Amino acid sequence: MARISASVYSSHIPAIGVAIDQNKTQEPYWAPLFQGFEASREWLKDNPPDVVFLVYNDHATAFSLDIIPTFAIGTAPRFEVADEGWGPRPVPDVVGHPEFASHIAQAVIEDEFDLTIVNHMDVDHGLTVPLSLMCGKVDAWPFQIIPFAVNVVQYPAPLGRRCYRLGQAIRRAVESFDEPLNVQIWGTGGMSHQLQGPRAGLINREFDNAFLDRLIADPEDLAQMPHIDYIREAGSEGIELVMWLIARGAMGDGAGGPAPRVVHRFYHVPASNTALGHLILEEKG
Amino acid sequence: MALDKPYKDVPGTTVFDADQSRRGYWLNQFCTSLMKAENRERFKANERTYLDEWPMTEDQKQAVMDRDLNRCIELGGNIYFLARVGATDGKSFQQMAGSMTGMTEEAYREMMVKGGRSIEGNRYTGEKEQV
């Protein structure tokens, strides 16, 4: 059967993609941030997944205001890299896993999470920036990817506890797939940031680090945090952090197993307007 | 009974909820149209003519032409959609965000390098005046 071996968490700031694409990663502004991912890239090479289930949000790219799905799973064989207005990023297209993605969709919907199924969508920086951070510059992404888009653009995003429970359901769905796939689940977005209005530029280190502590040690309790706390404390765009709870819910301790092992933890301010957080959790045994 | 909207007292912040989305539907759809290169060219060639093709309010059109992002947001715009206008102008997200704060581009960048805007005094409307 397929199994989840690890979860990876990372912000997905678009300026990071620009820095990678324009070879600026060694510049003084960016070097400390990229150094925080060197151990992660080594870890990924040593622990290569077959499939990454990648939780991210679309930024008014594939979904305009015409259709706003709360949870959307990509079941296509291939996803093209979107032109977000600056031209598409020069990174490889994303190769999906239609059979596995469709299996997860069916299982999760039967588990009472009513996903939207998407057979055609372009993917934006929310998905490609974490891939670049973890894989570097490559000709092809070294695994198949199931894009999983969460609405955090139009309020309300799904509640934290809903996201956590969805993660638990995704784990059950993965484990009911017959092929012996090694699966990682990634949660992206955040951490504290606000991109609009006179309060733009807000950063809250205390909130972010407490979030990381609780995500590791007590995610079920963290999942109870109401939306207003994210908005007030971590900025209007900080609410992206609910997506991390989907990945966290898919770890073994959410199904009665042992707590995961912290492989790597990193926090850096600033990346453009945003606080970057990064975490890798590995299943024990 | 009315919906609870506890986010109305967060200073300097407009949450893009269902009301704002309804208000800004055409403004945001106009922004989405700028994802196509040929539309960006047509918009740049004559902004007024291009905007007049959309059933936006006059205030929305004026706010776009003024590049007044705070006003655009007040009128239902969402920053991820408005970013298409910024991209058309060759602006980065940092330039766009900074333009809404009343700070110069340099001062905003400097604030971010020094760790960003503090949460202290920025949680509740009117908090600063009370301190």
CA closest to A205 among chain B residues: B115
Q: How far apart are CA A67 and CA A90, in angstroms?
A: 27
- Domain contains B106: no
- Domain contains B98: no
Q: CA neighbours within 13 Å on the CB side: how many for B22? A: 3
Quickly count: other Cβ atoms within 10 Å of residue B59's Cβ: 13
B56 by DSSP, 3-state: which? coil
Structure tokens at B66: 């003024």
Smallest Cα–Cα separation from A224: which of A233, A216, A214?
A214
Average pLDDT over residues B52-69: 98
B96 and A CB contact within 8 Å? yes
Within 8 A of A199 by CB-CB distance, chain B residues are 10-13, 101, 117, 122
Average pLDDT value over all residues in chain B: 95
Contact A200 B18 (CB under 8 A): no
* CATH for B66: 1.10.700.10
- Domain contains B71: yes
Q: Which pairs with CB-CB distance under 8 Å and at least 24 residues apart come from A39-47?
A: A39/A264, A40/A8, A40/A133, A40/A134, A40/A264, A40/A266, A40/A278, A40/A280, A41/A134, A41/A135, A41/A136, A43/A263, A43/A264, A43/A280, A44/A134, A44/A135, A47/A5, A47/A6, A47/A282
Indicate whether B131 pLDDT > 50: no
Digit-coded pLDDT (tens) for A211-239: 999 999 999 999 999 999 999 999 999 99
Indicate whether A86 pLDDT > 90: no
Range of the domain at B80: 15-90
Q: How far apart are CA A46 and CA A51, in angstroms?
A: 15
DSSP A192: S
Within 8 A of B102 by CB-CB distance, chain A residues are 198
- ipTM of predicted assembly, 2 dp: 0.95
Contact B15 A197 (CB under 8 A): no
Number of domains in chain B: 1
Contact B83 A201 (CB under 8 A): no
Residue B127: what pLDDT? 84
CA closest to B20 among chain A residues: A154
Contact B70 A198 (CB under 8 A): yes
Number of domains in chain A: 1
Residue B126: what pLDDT? 87
Residues of A carrying an active site annotation: 125, 193
CB of A132 within 8 A of CB of A17? yes
- Domain contains B58: yes
What residue type is B98 in one-letter code?
Answer: G
Residue of A56, A84, A199, A208 best to disrupt the B interface, most CBs of B under 10 A: A199
- Domain contains B68: yes
Residues 24-83 of B with CB under 8 A from A: 25, 28-29, 31-32, 34-35, 37, 40, 69-70, 73, 78-81, 83
Within 8 A of B84 by CB-CB distance, chain A residues are 60, 84-85
CB of A14 within 8 A of CB of A193? no
Digit-coded pLDDT (tens) for A150-198: 999 999 999 999 999 999 999 999 999 999 999 999 999 999 999 999 9
Indicate whether B129 pLDDT > 70: no
Specify the pTM: 0.97
- Domain contains B108: no
Contact A205 B115 (CB under 8 A): yes
- Domain contains B44: yes
Q: How far apart are CA A124 and CA B81, in angstroms?
A: 13
Q: How far is B102 from chain A (nearest CA, A)?
A: 7
Indicate whether A97 pLDDT > 80: yes
Containing A185, the helix (H) or strand (E) segment is strand A182-188
Digit-coded pLDDT (tens) for A38-76: 999 999 999 999 999 999 999 999 999 999 999 999 999
Residue B97: what pLDDT? 95
Range of the domain at A183: 3-282
Digit-coded pLDDT (tens) for A100-144: 999 999 999 999 999 999 999 999 999 999 999 999 999 999 999
* CATH for A157: 3.40.830.10
